[in-house]
Amino acid sequence: MIKALEKFLIPIADALSKNKVLVAIRDGFMYAVPVVIVGSIFLLISNFPIEGWSEMIATFAGEGWEKYFDAVTAVTFDCYALLSVMGIAYAYAREKGVDKIESAVVALVTFLMITPMKHAAFMNADGKMFSGFSFGHLGTKGIFLAMIVAIISTEIFAFAVKKKLVIKLPDGVPPAVMDSFAALIPAGLSMLVFFFVNMIFVNTPFGNVHTFIYQVLQAPLVGLGKSQAFEVIYQFLSTLFWFFGINGPAVTNTIFAPIHKALTLENYELAKAGLPMTNVFTSAFSDFFCNFGGGGSTLGLVLMMTFMAKSKRLKTLGRMALPAGIFGINEPIIFGFPMVLNVIMVIPFILAPVMNTIIGQLATAVGFIPVTSGVQLSWTTPIFISGYLTTGSINAVILQLFMLLADMALYYPFFKMQDSKYLEEEEKLAKEEKKDELDELSFDDLKLD
């Protein structure tokens, strides 16, 4: 059974992990993570979940102090599509072996070329139409179009470079000048393609490319992300890949991460508009309510290894892995326990994240915890701290504790089996070593005075 699954899954995982487009999308989103986390810190400070927080800060910062923090939040969350188009284009250019900076700049320009700048729905008192870019197109609703534009514009750029459609300057010209002229024709071709694309869509019932992509592609995919099975499937597949020694999230995030991001940013926009947040399966929910201690939700197992194991192997490994496990890093457990192809541990290893996902979903549905906000913390944020900061509710901390205990209960019988197996091996090895020592003793070495 395991060999059959291995034969089926490993080629799929290998193909996904080597697909240049999917790798670029995955890595491109990661480039935006530092500024998004910083923006989340500003968002957290301006909306800290303590009663009277805003009034307390206003006593020395003045009324309306939040607007200074909101400016930082706006350029990170509300411009996420801009960050994405540049990051993905940069990553894809790296995969294609062409100029990364020029590709990112061209992708940004082509994205803005097809973004509406006239908005008939917004008229001033004089009847003049609002002119400029809308955050609505640069933020959540533009994520999937940003992905598409980044890939296509860079593909055109790379095609032109590979076909030698570049301007070559004589030797002695400064490298910066040479690179800029070399990118002239590739950039022009890419911009020309999107010029015609924009011209076509402006004359359709959709009015622009943004509306078309959002209605035809992004809205249905985000709708899928709101289904009850979405997060369960994601957690199951991620852990299943880990079981075969493949970094699960590195594979599954190429498909699921854009949906998680879109759902998270939708919650942020709803909260900013004063409306109730509705999306359960955000990045924060996936990171902080489905897995504790890394893939397979192994933090509870590490705690049992540290304080309950009888075998030296598990106790020592537990003590070594616990500090990293608190911060969501569990490669020592994946490969040291090991979890890879371990038929004894496969059941709790795969079921624990799925169980946590279902419990978290039910707790949210009955109102025990609120929906996670648009705050995006590093996935290494420890348990309990992450629960409170992403929801503003102490109930989230209680829920995380309950989940951790449930994980321990699920792992316990399998942990005991593995611990007994290792203990038996250690005792057997100790007896063999003692026997070897006795065999090495010789009466010939004894001397009688």
Query: Is the distance from CB of 225 to CB of 239 less than 8 angstroms?
Result: no
pTM over 0.85: no
Enumerate residues 6+ apart whose C-beta is below 8 A from 392: 47, 49, 370, 373
Q: Can you tell me which residue has the tokens 């534009």?
A: 149
Average pLDDT over residues 33-50: 82
Token pair, residue 235, equals 């957690």
Residue 410, pLDDT score: 96
Residue 126, pLDDT score: 67
Rounded Cα gap, residues 411 and 353, in angstroms: 12
Query: Is the distance from CB of 113 to CB of 195 less than 8 angstroms?
Result: yes
Answer whether residue 249 shows pLDDT above 60: yes
Residue 161, pLDDT score: 92
Rounded Cα gap, residues 188 and 55, in angstroms: 53
Rounded Cα gap, residues 262 and 286, in angstroms: 13
Answer whether residue 443 shows pLDDT above 60: no
Query: Is the distance from CB of 325 to CB of 298 less than 8 angstroms?
Result: yes
pLDDT class of 166 with cuts at 50, 70, 90 = confident
Residue 10, pLDDT score: 65
**Which range, 64-68, 250-254, 278-282, has the best average confidence (pLDDT)?**
278-282
Rounded Cα gap, residues 419 and 431, in angstroms: 18
